Amino acid sequence: MAYYERLSAQDASFLAYEDADPTAHMHIGGVSVYEGGGLTNARGGVDIERLRAYVASRLALIPRYRQRLATTPLVEQPVWVDDERFDVRYHVRHTRLPRPGDDRELKRLAGRILSQRLDRNRPLWELWVIEGLTDRRFAMLTKTHHCMMDGVSGVDVSSVLMRLEADPTFEPATPWTPRPAPTGTALLTDEIARRARIPLQVVRGLTGVVRAAWTGRGHLQQSLGSAGEMVRLAWQGAAATPINRPIGPHRRFDWTVVPLADAKAIKNRLGGKLNDVVLAVVAGALGAFLRRRRVNVDILDFIAAIPVNVRAGGDTSLGNHVAAWLARLPIAEGDAKARFEHVVTLTTTLKRSGSAAPTAGLYELAEIGGRPALTAVVELTRRLSPCNLVVTNVPGPSFPLYMLDAKMLLACPQVTLLAEQGLGIAIFSYLGNLHFGFNADWDLIPDLHDLVSDVEAAFGDLAAVAGVDRTTAGAGQPLQRLEV
């Protein structure tokens, strides 16, 4: 029986964004490093065929990873269909660093791989196995198109490969038969029928809004106020800085690690949340970085987009269910404690205002208006560019995870770059550390390593004003600072 799944407007927007901008790569992912375990030999070589077999054995848990894109005739609605040519060997790739491989070589290789778009004719993911690191370690770089997943759900190939205990055994993959794709005529007929139902859905939606406002149970005034603020910020646009210019297709990738226990001690002593610590550190680092570029930060409204989860409780579906706060970061504030207090006030206000809702509303409109409305939303986002960068913070486990019997030591995430945003910062907490991943345009930020050092310094400054003794607190392992 023929099978397909329709992409939501938000998922389809990432494809449309990539179509509109030849420099955009709308994949997310990251770099992780592992102890060799039974997957490596004495010289550090990786048993790639065994690893491919293990990946294949887990793909039944994420059916999307054996699906490719197709398009509805005339209306150009993207849909998922099973890939009749699926071959795990195409997606699980194997490469090597020149021995002895170090962090600098790994970061440079990661930047080159992240600079390449995914092939739209195949399932939109790649997993690169990288050998050649010292001490029998190996690395993995994952790339998954944003239309397949979001950074909050985190359901991707790396997540289903991880185990809670070291175990070198696994059951072989069960045979898989792709379901036939529907004909173009069937896709077009279904889409026409779906659109015929839209007017009734709109009437029902409007009725619910009016009823909620009339009974006083709704948040209509709050939502309208939030929408107005977002429109104002979008019309104002991002502040002009050296990192907010047209980007190219090439990327740099870097990372650093700070102790999670230190970050928790800071927020416990100063008040606030862990995310406030992250934003205060990022603000302090950006202030120092831009001052060194001779930017007058005192006159900048520097706006960060902070993705937030709008997934309903119990919703485990694939695809994107995110919106974004638009937050003015206090990059001009020189005092670390005052900067943290400013961030706490800012995030508290954003939580109360519900200012993330209008972002999701744009895609609800696009669901109704089809391809023309989606194109308009994407073009509006590209041209207005209401923020200077994206900062996303994703919580992870405090306990170790394993790839078969290989322990994961490091997990540094990557967020995509948008129009005229030369920098994106993603943070992932794992095994007692905060892992900062920095994705940057190759030409706009040749001094990315300086920004990473600024993050480390800003974290140290905040710990100092909070009275946190970093010589005893935390389980972090300092990394060698290497220019990339």
Number of domains within the chain:
2
Q: Within this chain, do residues 166 and 42 fall inside the same structural domain, yes or no?
A: yes
In a domain, 193, yes or no: no
In a domain, 399, yes or no: no
Q: Within this chain, do residues 137 and 267 fall inside the same structural domain, yes or no?
A: no
Q: Within this chain, do residues 267 and 154 fall inside the same structural domain, yes or no?
A: no
Last residue of one domain, picked from the residues 132, 161, 186: 186
Using pLDDT thresholds of 50, 70 and 90, give the confidence band for residue 330.
very high
Beta strands in 89-193 (DSSP E): 92-101, 125-133, 138-145, 162-163
Using pLDDT thresholds of 50, 70 and 90, give the confidence band for residue 460.
very high
Average pLDDT of the segment spanning 360-378:
69
Higher pLDDT pick, 203 / 407 = 407
pLDDT at 339: 98
Is 252's pLDDT higher than 90?
A: yes
pLDDT at 288: 98
Higher pLDDT pick, 235 / 103 = 103
CA distance 303 to 284: 14
pLDDT at 12: 92
pLDDT at 80: 96
Neighbour tally for 126: CB within 10 Å: 22
pLDDT at 216: 47
Q: pLDDT tens digits, residue range 106-161?
A: 999 999 999 999 999 999 999 999 999 998 999 999 999 999 875 444 556 788 99
Catalytic residues: 146
Q: pLDDT tens digits, residue range 180-236?
A: 999 988 888 887 887 676 655 555 544 554 454 455 444 445 544 545 555 565 566
Q: Within this chain, do residues 169 and 236 fall inside the same structural domain, yes or no?
A: no
Higher pLDDT pick, 398 / 357 = 398
CA distance 388 to 83: 38
What residue spans of 174-307 are helical by DSSP H? 184-196, 198-215, 220-236, 260-270, 274-292
The pLDDT mean for the chain works out to 85
Average pLDDT of the segment spanning 342-359:
77
Q: Within this chain, do residues 146 and 23 fall inside the same structural domain, yes or no?
A: yes
pLDDT at 356: 52
In a domain, 278, yes or no: yes
pLDDT at 205: 47
The fraction of the chain above a pLDDT of 90, given in percent, is 63
Higher pLDDT pick, 223 / 306 = 306
- List the CATH number of the domain containing 137: 3.30.559.10
Closest CA to 386 of 177, 233, 252: 233
Least confident stretch, 12-21, 312-321, 364-373: 312-321
Least confident stretch, 173-187, 199-213, 355-369, 430-444: 199-213
Q: Within this chain, do residues 170 and 230 fall inside the same structural domain, yes or no?
A: no
Using pLDDT thresholds of 50, 70 and 90, give the confidence band for residue 253.
very high
CA distance 87 to 66: 9
Q: Within this chain, do residues 32 and 167 fall inside the same structural domain, yes or no?
A: yes
Q: Within this chain, do residues 228 and 128 fall inside the same structural domain, yes or no?
A: no
Is 481's pLDDT higher than 80?
A: no
Q: Within this chain, do residues 226 and 163 fall inside the same structural domain, yes or no?
A: no
Closest CA to 59 of 150, 176, 179: 176
CA distance 455 to 282: 6
Q: pLDDT tens digits, residue range 31-79?
A: 999 998 899 988 889 999 999 999 999 999 999 999 999 998 887 889 9
In a domain, 210, yes or no: no
Q: Within this chain, do residues 18 and 136 fall inside the same structural domain, yes or no?
A: yes
SS3 of 5, please?
strand
Which residues span the domain enclosing 371? 220-393+420-465
Q: pLDDT tens digits, residue range 128-141?
A: 999 999 989 999 99
CA angle 178, 181, 186 (to 5 degrees): 155
pLDDT at 70: 94
In a domain, 440, yes or no: yes
Q: Within this chain, do residues 305 and 443 fall inside the same structural domain, yes or no?
A: yes
In a domain, 401, yes or no: no
Last residue of one domain, picked from the residues 186, 211, 246: 186
pLDDT at 187: 86
- List the CATH number of the domain containing 286: 3.30.559.30
Higher pLDDT pick, 444 / 149 = 444
Is 176's pLDDT higher than 90?
A: yes
Q: Within this chain, do residues 168 and 228 fall inside the same structural domain, yes or no?
A: no
CA distance 442 to 422: 8
Query: What residues contact residue 440 under an 8 Å CB cut-off, 6+ apart?
Result: 251, 252, 253, 254, 417, 422, 423, 424, 448, 451
